[in-house]
Amino acid sequence: MIFIGPVSSIFGFLTFFIMIQVFNAGAVLFHTGWFKEEMCMTNRSMWQVLSWLLAGSLIGLGLLGFDVLFIFIPCFIIGLSLVILGVRRWGSHYLWVAFLSFGIVPELFLLNDIVRAFPSCPPGGLTLPADAPTGTTVSCGGPIPTTYYILLACFGIVALGALAWPILRRCVYR
């Protein structure tokens, strides 16, 4: 509190100065600016959690798109650098959120692909009805690759482990 109080006061005075001198703010704009500044100062942990969510999601999407290098390399490098900077800046208290988003976001992409996949072709193939208009086509897809289900299970295990992390942390430190 010895450090956070003066920093909050400095930002409060800076907000007063900018709102009055720079924006010539009336009462409504002044109250709105003051409210937003206070929300940003009091919700620092929210920004930490959002940063961890972004980092984990980028790493997960990078690993999911490993066969497309122009997606894999930037996502993975940016996500990994965000995790490294986050651990250096904030410690590992909210690191479990990065693992949670690392598990959930790619899992949602995989589930979307599985649900939206075309049904498999029947053994005899597809036939058009006799009264179908000309130009009508019928298509079916192949079976969904087994790797989708394996990746889905792996990312699910990571997400469940991340959900258990804070609970286990509390049990260990008691």
pLDDT value, residue 8: 62
Report the share of the chain in percent with pLDDT over 70. 84
pLDDT tens across 49-73, in order? 777 888 888 888 888 877 777 778 8
> 109-124 burial string, b = 16+ CB within 10 Å, else e?
bbeeeeeeeeeeeeee
Q: What is the token pair recorded at 172?
A: 């260990």
Averaged pLDDT for residues 70-80: 83
**Burial category of 88 from C-beta neighbours within 10 Å (exposed 0-12, middle 13-18, buried 19 and up):** exposed
The mean pLDDT value of the chain amounts to 79
Which pLDDT does position 121 carry in this prediction? 73
Provide the pLDDT for residue 3. Answer: 45
* Helical pair 146-172 and 95-116, crossing angle rounded to 10 deg: 150
Report whether pLDDT(112) > 80.
yes
pTM of the model: 0.60
pLDDT tens-digit profile of 118-160? 777 777 667 777 787 877 777 776 678 888 889 889 999 999 9
For residues 89 and 10, what is the distance between their CA atoms, to the nearest angstrom? 21
Q: In the chain, where are the structural domains located?
A: 1-42, 44-119+140-174
What pLDDT shows up at residue 160? Answer: 92
